[in-house]
Amino acid sequence: MQGKHLGNRLDALLRPEVLGLALYDPGADPDTLLRQYGLGSVIKLSNNENPYGLSPLAAQAMQRRIALGLGRYPDPSGKALCAMLARKHDVAADRVMLGNGSENLLELLCQALLGPGDRVLTQAPGFSLHEIYPRMMGAHVHKVPCTDTFGFAAAAWRQALAGPLKLVFISNPCNPLGTAYSTRELQTIIRCTPPDCLLVIDEAYFEYAIACPGYPDALALLRTHARPWMVLRTFSKAYGLASLRVGYGIASEPGLIEALHRVRTPYNVNLLAQEAACAALEDTPHLEKSVALVTRERARLTQALRDAGLRVAPSMANFLFVDTGTDARQVVQALHRHGVIVKAWAEPGYQTFIRVSLALPADNDAFLRALLHVVAPA
């Protein structure tokens, strides 16, 4: 054991910020559950993945690349993919940056901007990495709660944004709620965020939300604002490339991108991921099919859960946030025996909530049956 060598001295070696850091919770592992409960199959609804997987064009692009050889380093900044994204979003290519997942960009932003004592603002409930990475750098994280009906708490936001701040992280749609701020609400945040603070809008679920009435186009809103901002998107969710790890950011100015290049590892996005993402971007039918499935299943499952007497936040994403009315960790454990993996929410005030990813109709039905068996609502 490493304890033999360092013992308590390890604690003295580690930065205090690291000692107190929470571990990211990826949810249960399907293979472990298969063995533990002797199950025939497991349905994983805990990571908001695309049940159709990646586009067949992306798979072909990777196969072609494998045939050509993988012995050389990839383009260090993924120029070809950045150029495609710049064209798609009508921005200069020097305002686009790739990450090893958009998580990587969250991390790089924190490394480039934050030091001990800096203040960061995010949402509650919210995405754990919006808190973990700032804390890793020694920053203080403040969270603005949503209203009792999962809505935008305008007064609380205005007040929180008034203080000195370095960074604001919001996900829109929000993970885990699935709800999204409206154009007016987002405009309030943009207007109230101090001009010397970086506003980051994490749009990991953009492709699922964009067809929903009232979902704001953050890029269009921010374009006209002379303030530092960054919009994050990913290939992990609607594009189905979660295993390959590729996300991207669009920034208010090339200087911010340049700063992130200085703190990143030189080849942060591997060659297969770059090739697959380029191909996936062009496969509109695959994306449309994935979004159509989620749109149908989102309405159907929301209604079925509500009919069963459960409270569900109105989602624009590919997951639902459901109040089970009882300790969510116990619900999740009980669902494991039925071969269903969902995520129990751990934040204070939400410990009766689970987040469940939308999947194929048969899997959603299996989840629904198992959940109603476990929680037996009135």
Ligand X SMILES: *Cc1c(COP(=O)(O)O)cnc(C)c1O
Please, are residues 125 and 277 in contact by the beta-carbon 8 Å criterion? Answer: no
Residues between 144 and 183 that touch ligand X (CB under 6 A): 171, 175
Q: Which of 55, 236, 290, 318 binds ligand X (CB under 6 A)?
A: 236
Q: Between 77 and 338, name the residue whose CB sits nearer to ligand X.
A: 77
Give rounded-to-5 percent helix, strand, coil for the chain.
45, 15, 40
Q: How far is Cα 23 from Cα 14, in angstroms, rounded to an integer?
A: 15
Q: Between 131 and 202, name the residue whose CB sits nearer to ligand X.
A: 202
Residues between 21 and 60 that touch ligand X (CB under 6 A): 48
First to last CA, the chain: 51
Residues between 58 and 117 that touch ligand X (CB under 6 A): 101-103
**Upper half-sphere CA count for residue 238 (Cβ side, 13 Å):** 27
Residue type, position 377, single letter: P
Residue 204 binds ligand X (CB under 6 A): yes
Q: Between 338 and 343, name the residue whose CB sits nearer to ligand X.
A: 343
Q: Which of 49, 118, 185, 202 binds ligand X (CB under 6 A)?
A: 202
Residue 133 binds ligand X (CB under 6 A): no
Q: Select the residue whose beta carbon is closest to ligand X and give its number.
A: 101
Please, are residues 328 and 367 in contact by the beta-carbon 8 Å criterion? Answer: no
Sign for the CA dihedral angle at 286, 287, 289, 294 comes to: positive
Q: Which of 234, 252, 268, 352 binds ligand X (CB under 6 A)?
A: 234
Residue type, position 139, single letter: A
Q: Between 175 and 274, name the residue whose CB sits nearer to ligand X.
A: 175
Q: What is the DSSP letter of 21?
A: P
Q: Using CB atoms within 10 A of its CB, is residue 256 exposed (0-12), middle (13-18) or buried (19+)?
A: buried
* Binding track, positions 301-340, relative to ligand X; x by CB under 6 A: ----------------------------------------
Residue ranges in contact with ligand X by CB under 6 A: 48, 101-103, 127, 171, 175, 202, 204, 234, 236, 242, 247
